[in-house]
Amino acid sequence: MVEAADPRLRVYATQFHPEKNLFEWGQAASGELQQAIPHSRAAVAVSQYFANFFVDECRASAHRFASPTDQWKQLIYHSPQWLAQPTVLSPNFVESYVFGASRPNGTRNG
C-alpha cells in the first residue's frame, strides 16, 4: 500500500466497512448466507467505537450549514432510490442511488 497524506488535515480512512457489523446481516430473504458478517459483542463494540470516533471528529469541526433548509438540500434522503436486484455482487440489502442514469425499469432519476 502506498499512502500520501497532509499531516495538517484530519483525514481518516478504513480499508473495511465498520458499519457492516451493526447494520448488515449478509443474508438473503431466502435465508441464504451471502456474507459472513460477525455480530458478536466484540464485533459490535469495535464498529460502535469507529462510529463514535468519526462522529466526534465531525463535531469538532466549525463547519455548519446556514440553515436547516440549506442542509436539507444537500442530504441524500430526498433523492430517489431503488433496491438493487440481488446478485452475488449486489446482495439484497444494498440500496442504490443512481443519478442521471437509466434505472432498470427504464425510468430516469432527477
Range of the domain at 33: 1-63
Rounded to an integer, the average pLDDT of 23-43 is 81
Q: Are 73 and 59 part of one and the same domain?
A: no
Q: Are residues 38 and 57 in the same domain?
A: yes
Judge if 19 and 54 occupy the same domain.
Answer: yes
The structure's pTM equals 0.59
List of residues 6+ apart from 6 with CB closer than 8 A? none
Res. 64 pLDDT band, cuts 50 70 90: very high
- The answer to whether the CB of 40 falls within 8 A of the CB of 20 is no
Selecting among 17, 39, 63, 78, the annotated active-site residue is 17
Tell me: do 4 and 46 sit in the same domain.
yes
Residues 38, 21: Cα–Cα separation, whole Å: 6
Instruction: Please indicate, yes or no, whether residues 59 and 105 belong to a single structural domain of this protein.
Output: no
Residues 58 and 88 placed together within one structural domain of the fold: no
Residue 110: predicted pLDDT: 47
Query: Are 26 and 51 in a shared domain?
Result: yes
The question of whether 39 is a catalytic residue gets the answer no
Q: How many domains does the chain have?
A: 2
